[in-house]
Protein backbone atom coordinates (compact mmCIF):
# COMPACT_ATOMS: atom_id res chain seq x y z
CA UNK A 1 0.00 0.00 0.00
CA UNK A 2 1.00 3.63 -0.37
CA UNK A 3 1.52 5.83 2.71
CA UNK A 4 -0.83 8.39 1.08
CA UNK A 5 -3.67 5.85 1.47
CA UNK A 6 -3.36 5.78 5.27
CA UNK A 7 -5.48 8.88 5.97
CA UNK A 8 -8.41 7.13 4.22
CA UNK A 9 -8.19 3.94 6.30
CA UNK A 10 -9.81 3.02 9.62
CA UNK A 11 -9.62 -0.02 11.89
CA UNK A 12 -12.53 -2.31 10.92
CA UNK A 13 -12.83 -3.41 14.56
CA UNK A 14 -12.92 -0.12 16.52
CA UNK A 15 -12.97 2.56 13.74
CA UNK A 16 -9.75 4.10 15.10
CA UNK A 17 -6.98 5.52 12.87
CA UNK A 18 -4.14 3.19 11.87
CA UNK A 19 -0.36 3.57 12.06
CA UNK A 20 2.12 2.72 9.31
CA UNK A 21 5.09 0.44 9.94
CA UNK A 22 8.07 2.38 11.44
CA UNK A 23 10.00 4.33 8.82
CA UNK A 24 7.27 4.13 6.16
CA UNK A 25 5.59 7.49 6.98
CA UNK A 26 7.78 9.69 4.82
CA UNK A 27 8.12 7.27 1.92
CA UNK A 28 6.25 7.50 -1.37
CA UNK A 29 7.41 3.99 -2.31
CA UNK A 30 4.96 1.09 -2.14
CA UNK A 31 4.96 -0.50 1.34
CA UNK A 32 5.27 -4.21 0.66
CA UNK A 33 5.45 -5.71 4.16
CA UNK A 34 5.01 -4.99 7.86
CA UNK A 35 1.72 -4.20 9.57
CA UNK A 36 -0.80 -1.41 10.10
CA UNK A 37 -1.28 -1.05 13.83
CA UNK A 38 -4.39 0.19 15.57
CA UNK A 39 -3.22 2.01 18.72
CA UNK A 40 -6.77 1.99 20.13
CA UNK A 41 -7.70 -1.73 20.05
CA UNK A 42 -4.12 -3.00 19.46
CA UNK A 43 -4.96 -5.08 16.41
CA UNK A 44 -2.12 -5.43 13.87
CA UNK A 45 -3.22 -5.80 10.24
CA UNK A 46 -0.53 -7.44 8.09
CA UNK A 47 0.70 -6.03 4.78
CA UNK A 48 1.56 -9.02 2.58
CA UNK A 49 3.05 -8.57 -0.92
CA UNK A 50 1.91 -4.93 -0.74
CA UNK A 51 -1.68 -5.88 0.17
CA UNK A 52 -2.99 -4.46 3.46
CA UNK A 53 -5.31 -7.07 4.99
CA UNK A 54 -7.89 -5.01 6.88
CA UNK A 55 -10.18 -7.77 8.05
CA UNK A 56 -10.83 -8.94 11.57
CA UNK A 57 -10.19 -11.60 12.91
CA UNK A 58 -6.95 -11.64 10.90
CA UNK A 59 -6.24 -15.33 11.52
CA UNK A 60 -9.61 -16.43 10.18
CA UNK A 61 -9.06 -14.37 7.02
CA UNK A 62 -5.55 -15.71 6.40
CA UNK A 63 -6.77 -19.30 6.76
CA UNK A 64 -9.84 -18.86 4.54
CA UNK A 65 -7.82 -17.10 1.80
CA UNK A 66 -4.64 -19.19 2.10
CA UNK A 67 -4.86 -20.32 -1.54
CA UNK A 68 -4.59 -16.79 -2.96
CA UNK A 69 -2.07 -15.65 -0.36
CA UNK A 70 0.28 -18.62 -0.78
CA UNK A 71 0.83 -17.85 -4.47
CA UNK A 72 2.61 -14.61 -3.60
CA UNK A 73 3.63 -14.80 0.05
CA UNK A 74 6.21 -17.13 1.62
CA UNK A 75 5.13 -18.94 4.79
CA UNK A 76 7.93 -17.16 6.66
CA UNK A 77 6.29 -13.78 5.84
CA UNK A 78 3.01 -14.72 7.58
CA UNK A 79 3.03 -13.14 11.08
CA UNK A 80 4.29 -15.69 13.58
CA UNK A 81 1.15 -15.80 15.72
CA UNK A 82 -0.97 -16.92 12.72
CA UNK A 83 1.55 -19.07 10.86
CA UNK A 84 0.64 -22.45 12.29
CA UNK A 85 -3.10 -22.12 11.69
CA UNK A 86 -2.36 -20.72 8.19
CA UNK A 87 -0.08 -23.63 7.28
CA UNK A 88 -2.66 -26.14 8.50
CA UNK A 89 -5.39 -24.48 6.41
CA UNK A 90 -3.09 -24.52 3.38
CA UNK A 91 -2.26 -28.18 3.88
CA UNK A 92 -5.95 -29.02 4.09
CA UNK A 93 -6.61 -27.14 0.85
CA UNK A 94 -3.76 -28.94 -0.93
CA UNK A 95 -5.08 -32.32 0.19
CA UNK A 96 -8.44 -31.46 -1.35
CA UNK A 97 -6.67 -31.05 -4.72
CA UNK A 98 -7.53 -28.62 -7.54
CA UNK A 99 -11.14 -27.49 -7.28
CA UNK A 100 -13.66 -26.46 -9.86
CA UNK A 101 -15.81 -24.16 -7.77
CA UNK A 102 -17.13 -21.49 -10.15
CA UNK A 103 -17.09 -18.79 -7.48
CA UNK A 104 -13.66 -19.39 -5.93
CA UNK A 105 -12.27 -15.87 -6.08
CA UNK A 106 -8.83 -16.99 -4.92
CA UNK A 107 -8.44 -19.36 -7.90
CA UNK A 108 -6.39 -18.54 -11.03
CA UNK A 109 -9.25 -19.52 -13.31
CA UNK A 110 -11.90 -17.21 -11.84
CA UNK A 111 -9.48 -14.30 -11.55
CA UNK A 112 -8.40 -14.86 -15.16
CA UNK A 113 -12.01 -14.44 -16.34
CA UNK A 114 -12.28 -11.11 -14.51
CA UNK A 115 -8.82 -10.03 -15.71
CA UNK A 116 -9.88 -10.45 -19.32
CA UNK A 117 -13.16 -8.69 -18.66
CA UNK A 118 -11.44 -5.76 -16.90
CA UNK A 119 -8.28 -5.27 -18.99
CA UNK A 120 -8.64 -6.66 -22.49
CA UNK A 121 -10.43 -4.66 -25.18
CA UNK A 122 -12.08 -5.98 -28.33
CA UNK A 123 -9.17 -4.68 -30.39
CA UNK A 124 -7.20 -7.57 -28.81
CA UNK A 125 -9.76 -9.96 -30.32
CA UNK A 126 -7.11 -12.65 -30.57
CA UNK A 127 -8.10 -13.88 -27.13
CA UNK A 128 -11.54 -14.88 -28.46
CA UNK A 129 -10.18 -17.94 -30.31
CA UNK A 130 -11.07 -19.24 -33.79
CA UNK A 131 -14.89 -19.62 -33.66
CA UNK A 132 -16.57 -16.82 -35.71
CA UNK A 133 -19.76 -17.16 -33.63
CA UNK A 134 -17.88 -16.40 -30.39
CA UNK A 135 -15.83 -13.67 -32.07
CA UNK A 136 -19.03 -12.04 -33.32
CA UNK A 137 -20.53 -11.84 -29.81
CA UNK A 138 -17.29 -10.53 -28.38
CA UNK A 139 -17.09 -7.86 -31.09
CA UNK A 140 -20.74 -6.92 -30.49
CA UNK A 141 -20.87 -6.44 -26.71
CA UNK A 142 -17.45 -6.91 -25.05
CA UNK A 143 -16.61 -3.19 -24.80
CA UNK A 144 -20.14 -2.14 -23.78
CA UNK A 145 -20.30 -3.74 -20.35
CA UNK A 146 -20.94 -2.33 -16.88
CA UNK A 147 -17.29 -1.28 -16.35
CA UNK A 148 -17.44 1.08 -19.31
CA UNK A 149 -20.91 2.39 -18.38
CA UNK A 150 -19.85 3.12 -14.79
CA UNK A 151 -16.48 4.66 -15.77
CA UNK A 152 -18.30 6.99 -18.19
CA UNK A 153 -20.67 8.17 -15.46
CA UNK A 154 -17.87 8.74 -12.94
CA UNK A 155 -15.86 10.70 -15.52
CA UNK A 156 -18.89 12.96 -16.08
CA UNK A 157 -19.14 13.97 -12.39
CA UNK A 158 -17.61 17.40 -12.29
CA UNK A 159 -16.31 17.75 -8.72
CA UNK A 160 -12.73 18.98 -8.16
CA UNK A 161 -10.58 16.35 -6.39
CA UNK A 162 -13.34 13.74 -6.74
CA UNK A 163 -12.86 10.81 -4.31
CA UNK A 164 -14.15 7.38 -5.33
CA UNK A 165 -14.45 4.27 -3.18
CA UNK A 166 -15.34 0.93 -4.73
CA UNK A 167 -16.73 -2.05 -2.79
CA UNK A 168 -16.04 -5.46 -4.31
CA UNK A 169 -13.61 -3.95 -6.85
CA UNK A 170 -12.22 -7.37 -7.86
CA UNK A 171 -9.13 -7.12 -10.07
CA UNK A 172 -9.39 -3.32 -10.29
CA UNK A 173 -10.20 -2.51 -13.92
CA UNK A 174 -12.67 0.25 -13.06
CA UNK A 175 -9.95 2.41 -11.47
CA UNK A 176 -7.94 2.19 -14.65
CA UNK A 177 -10.87 3.20 -16.86
CA UNK A 178 -11.78 6.12 -14.60
CA UNK A 179 -8.21 7.41 -14.55
CA UNK A 180 -7.74 6.98 -18.27
CA UNK A 181 -10.88 9.04 -18.93
CA UNK A 182 -10.29 11.74 -16.33
CA UNK A 183 -7.72 11.29 -13.57
CA UNK A 184 -6.26 14.65 -12.62
CA UNK A 185 -6.69 15.45 -8.93
CA UNK A 186 -9.00 12.47 -8.43
CA UNK A 187 -8.48 9.68 -5.93
CA UNK A 188 -9.73 6.11 -5.85
CA UNK A 189 -9.67 3.31 -3.28
CA UNK A 190 -10.81 -0.22 -4.12
CA UNK A 191 -11.81 -2.75 -1.44
CA UNK A 192 -12.40 -6.47 -1.97
CA UNK A 193 -12.28 -9.58 0.19
CA UNK A 194 -10.25 -11.58 -2.37
CA UNK A 195 -6.50 -11.41 -1.71
CA UNK A 196 -5.67 -12.70 -5.21
CA UNK A 197 -7.86 -10.03 -6.85
CA UNK A 198 -6.40 -7.16 -4.82
CA UNK A 199 -2.84 -8.32 -5.49
CA UNK A 200 -3.60 -8.41 -9.25
CA UNK A 201 -5.29 -4.99 -9.10
CA UNK A 202 -2.21 -3.54 -7.37
CA UNK A 203 0.18 -5.18 -9.80
CA UNK A 204 -1.59 -4.14 -13.00
CA UNK A 205 -2.53 -0.59 -11.95
CA UNK A 206 0.28 0.33 -9.60
CA UNK A 207 3.19 -1.85 -10.71
CA UNK A 208 3.46 -3.74 -7.39
CA UNK A 209 5.75 -6.77 -7.74
CA UNK A 210 3.86 -9.95 -8.59
CA UNK A 211 5.70 -13.23 -8.11
CA UNK A 212 3.45 -15.55 -10.10
CA UNK A 213 2.47 -16.17 -13.72
CA UNK A 214 -0.65 -14.41 -15.04
CA UNK A 215 -2.50 -16.45 -17.65
CA UNK A 216 -5.91 -16.74 -19.23
CA UNK A 217 -7.88 -19.70 -20.65
CA UNK A 218 -7.82 -20.73 -24.32
CA UNK A 219 -8.35 -24.37 -25.39
CA UNK A 220 -8.90 -26.34 -22.17
CA UNK A 221 -6.80 -29.24 -23.46
CA UNK A 222 -3.85 -26.97 -22.69
CA UNK A 223 -4.96 -26.52 -19.06
CA UNK A 224 -7.45 -24.30 -17.18
CA UNK A 225 -5.31 -21.27 -17.96
CA UNK A 226 -2.65 -21.47 -20.66
CA UNK A 227 -2.06 -18.15 -22.49
CA UNK A 228 0.22 -15.44 -21.14
CA UNK A 229 -1.69 -12.34 -20.09
CA UNK A 230 -0.48 -9.24 -21.99
CA UNK A 231 1.68 -6.67 -20.23
CA UNK A 232 -0.36 -3.77 -18.84
CA UNK A 233 1.32 -0.44 -18.12
CA UNK A 234 0.82 0.84 -14.54
CA UNK A 235 -1.04 4.13 -14.06
CA UNK A 236 1.94 5.80 -12.35
CA UNK A 237 -0.02 7.45 -9.52
CA UNK A 238 -0.30 7.09 -5.74
CA UNK A 239 -3.84 8.51 -5.87
CA UNK A 240 -5.14 5.01 -6.58
CA UNK A 241 -4.86 2.09 -4.16
CA UNK A 242 -6.52 -1.22 -3.30
CA UNK A 243 -6.86 -2.99 0.07
CA UNK A 244 -8.42 -6.19 1.35
CA UNK A 245 -11.56 -5.55 3.37
CA UNK A 246 -15.11 -6.72 3.90
CA UNK A 247 -17.73 -4.55 2.27
CA UNK A 248 -20.07 -4.86 5.25
CA UNK A 249 -17.32 -3.61 7.62
CA UNK A 250 -15.49 -1.17 5.36
CA UNK A 251 -12.01 -0.31 6.72
CA UNK A 252 -12.24 3.30 5.54
CA UNK A 253 -13.32 6.78 6.62
CA UNK A 254 -17.07 7.41 6.65
CA UNK A 255 -18.99 10.49 5.46
CA UNK A 256 -16.14 11.61 3.23
CA UNK A 257 -16.44 10.12 -0.26
CA UNK A 258 -17.95 11.81 -3.32
CA UNK A 259 -18.73 8.57 -5.13
CA UNK A 260 -19.30 5.01 -3.85
CA UNK A 261 -19.36 2.31 -6.52
CA UNK A 262 -20.36 -1.31 -6.24
CA UNK A 263 -20.50 -3.50 -9.32
CA UNK A 264 -22.05 -6.93 -9.43
CA UNK A 265 -21.57 -7.68 -5.74
CA UNK A 266 -24.94 -6.90 -4.08
CA UNK A 267 -26.28 -10.35 -4.96
CA UNK A 268 -23.36 -12.03 -3.21
CA UNK A 269 -24.43 -10.61 0.17
CA UNK A 270 -26.49 -12.48 2.72
CA UNK A 271 -28.26 -9.22 3.41
CA UNK A 272 -28.30 -7.08 0.22
CA UNK A 273 -29.51 -4.10 2.25
CA UNK A 274 -25.94 -3.90 3.65
CA UNK A 275 -24.84 -2.37 0.34
CA UNK A 276 -26.99 0.80 0.23
CA UNK A 277 -26.63 1.12 4.01
CA UNK A 278 -22.86 1.01 3.76
CA UNK A 279 -22.73 3.36 0.73
CA UNK A 280 -24.95 5.88 2.56
CA UNK A 281 -22.52 5.79 5.49
CA UNK A 282 -19.43 6.25 3.30
CA UNK A 283 -20.74 9.15 1.21
CA UNK A 284 -20.79 12.88 1.87
CA UNK A 285 -24.25 14.49 1.77
CA UNK A 286 -25.33 14.66 -1.90
CA UNK A 287 -22.71 12.01 -2.74
CA UNK A 288 -23.38 9.59 -5.60
CA UNK A 289 -23.84 5.84 -5.24
CA UNK A 290 -23.49 3.74 -8.38
CA UNK A 291 -24.63 0.16 -8.25
CA UNK A 292 -24.83 -2.53 -10.93
CA UNK A 293 -26.04 -6.10 -10.72
CA UNK A 294 -27.19 -9.16 -12.67
CA UNK A 295 -29.20 -10.03 -9.52
CA UNK A 296 -28.46 -13.72 -9.28
CA UNK A 297 -29.96 -14.04 -5.80
CA UNK A 298 -29.57 -17.04 -3.57
CA UNK A 299 -33.15 -18.39 -3.13
CA UNK A 300 -33.06 -17.73 0.65
CA UNK A 301 -31.92 -14.13 0.09
CA UNK A 302 -34.68 -13.56 -2.46
CA UNK A 303 -37.26 -14.96 -0.07
CA UNK A 304 -36.13 -12.66 2.75
CA UNK A 305 -36.11 -9.63 0.43
CA UNK A 306 -39.66 -10.37 -0.76
CA UNK A 307 -40.83 -10.71 2.83
CA UNK A 308 -39.10 -7.45 3.89
CA UNK A 309 -40.19 -5.35 0.89
CA UNK A 310 -43.45 -6.87 -0.42
CA UNK A 311 -44.36 -3.75 -2.44
CA UNK A 312 -41.06 -3.81 -4.34
CA UNK A 313 -41.18 -7.55 -4.97
CA UNK A 314 -42.32 -7.29 -8.62
CA UNK A 315 -38.77 -7.46 -10.03
CA UNK A 316 -35.12 -7.25 -8.93
CA UNK A 317 -34.42 -3.76 -10.31
CA UNK A 318 -37.42 -2.28 -8.45
CA UNK A 319 -36.40 -4.15 -5.31
CA UNK A 320 -32.84 -2.77 -5.35
CA UNK A 321 -34.06 0.75 -6.11
CA UNK A 322 -36.38 0.44 -3.10
CA UNK A 323 -33.45 -0.58 -0.86
CA UNK A 324 -31.65 2.62 -1.86
CA UNK A 325 -34.72 4.82 -1.34
CA UNK A 326 -35.15 3.27 2.13
CA UNK A 327 -31.55 4.21 2.95
CA UNK A 328 -31.85 7.93 2.24
CA UNK A 329 -31.10 8.12 -1.49
CA UNK A 330 -33.04 9.64 -4.36
CA UNK A 331 -33.05 8.26 -7.89
CA UNK A 332 -30.75 9.87 -10.46
CA UNK A 333 -30.79 7.15 -13.14
CA UNK A 334 -31.96 3.60 -13.64
CA UNK A 335 -30.84 1.77 -16.76
CA UNK A 336 -31.41 -1.85 -17.60
CA UNK A 337 -30.15 -4.46 -20.07
CA UNK A 338 -26.45 -3.65 -20.06
CA UNK A 339 -24.61 -6.63 -21.59
CA UNK A 340 -21.86 -8.23 -19.50
CA UNK A 341 -19.97 -10.89 -21.44
CA UNK A 342 -17.51 -13.38 -20.01
CA UNK A 343 -15.12 -15.28 -22.20
CA UNK A 344 -14.66 -18.62 -20.45
CA UNK A 345 -12.51 -20.40 -23.07
CA UNK A 346 -12.43 -21.01 -26.83
CA UNK A 347 -15.75 -22.89 -26.72
CA UNK A 348 -17.78 -21.05 -24.07
CA UNK A 349 -19.00 -17.54 -23.42
CA UNK A 350 -21.48 -16.34 -20.81
CA UNK A 351 -23.76 -13.33 -21.19
CA UNK A 352 -25.49 -11.46 -18.36
CA UNK A 353 -28.07 -8.69 -18.51
CA UNK A 354 -27.12 -6.08 -15.91
CA UNK A 355 -29.11 -3.31 -14.25
CA UNK A 356 -27.41 -0.01 -13.36
CA UNK A 357 -28.56 2.47 -10.73
CA UNK A 358 -27.23 5.93 -10.01
CA UNK A 359 -28.58 7.26 -6.70
CA UNK A 360 -27.94 10.55 -4.94
CA UNK A 361 -27.64 10.71 -1.15
CA UNK A 362 -30.02 13.30 0.26
CA UNK A 363 -28.23 16.48 1.45
Q: Which does 67 bind (CB under 5 to 8 A by kind): ligand SAM, Zn ion, none?
A: none
Report CA-CA distances (Å) from 220 to 70, 215, 346. 25, 13, 8
Q: ∠ at Cα 194 (197, 62), nearest 5°?
A: 125
DSSP-derived pairing of the beta strands 215-216 and 187-192? unpaired
Q: CA–CA separation, 28 vs 111, rounded Å?
A: 29
Q: For the CB of residue 36, give the shortest distance to Zn ion in the complex, in Å.
A: 10
Give the one entry of Zn ion, ligand SAM, none that residue 206 binds, where binding means its C-beta sits below a cut-off of 5 to 8 angstroms depending on kind: none
Which residue stretch of 27-35, 227-235, 243-251, 307-315 sits at the interface with ligand SAM (rule: CB under 6 A)? 243-251
DSSP H helices in the chain: 58-64, 66-70, 80-96, 108-119, 132-141, 146-156, 173-181, 195-206, 274-282, 299-308, 316-326
Among ligand SAM, Zn ion, none, what does residue 11 contact (CB within 5–8 Å per kind)? Answer: Zn ion
* Nearest approach, Cβ of residue 58 and Zn ion (Å): 12
Q: Of 245-304, which residues contact ligand SAM (CB under 6 A)?
A: 246-248, 263-265, 268
* Torsion angles phi and psi, residue 191, rounded to 5: -130, 135
- Applying CB under 6 A, among 50, 68, 129, 170 the residue interacting with ligand SAM is 170
Quickly count: other Cβ atoms within 10 Å of residue 187's Cβ.
21
Question: From the list ligand SAM, Zn ion, none, which binds 332 (C-beta under 5 to 8 Å, kind-based)?
Answer: none
* Binding to Zn ion in span 18-57, by CB under 5 A: 38, 40-41
> Least distance in Å: CB of 173 to ligand SAM?
7
Binding stretches for Zn ion (CB under 5 A): 11, 13-14, 16, 38, 40-41
Binding stretches for ligand SAM (CB under 6 A): 105, 114, 117, 168-170, 192-194, 197, 246-248, 263-265, 268
Amino acid sequence: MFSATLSRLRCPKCRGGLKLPPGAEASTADILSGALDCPKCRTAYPILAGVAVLVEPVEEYLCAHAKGISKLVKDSEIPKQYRRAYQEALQEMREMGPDHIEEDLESDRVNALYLMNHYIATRDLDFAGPDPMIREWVAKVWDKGPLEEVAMRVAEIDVPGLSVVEQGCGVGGLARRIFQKKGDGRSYLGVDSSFASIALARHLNLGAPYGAKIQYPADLIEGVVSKAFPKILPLGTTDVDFVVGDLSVMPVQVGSWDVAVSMNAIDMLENPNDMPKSQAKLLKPKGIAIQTGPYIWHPEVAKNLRAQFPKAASDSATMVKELYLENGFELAESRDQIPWLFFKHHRQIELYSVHLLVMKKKG
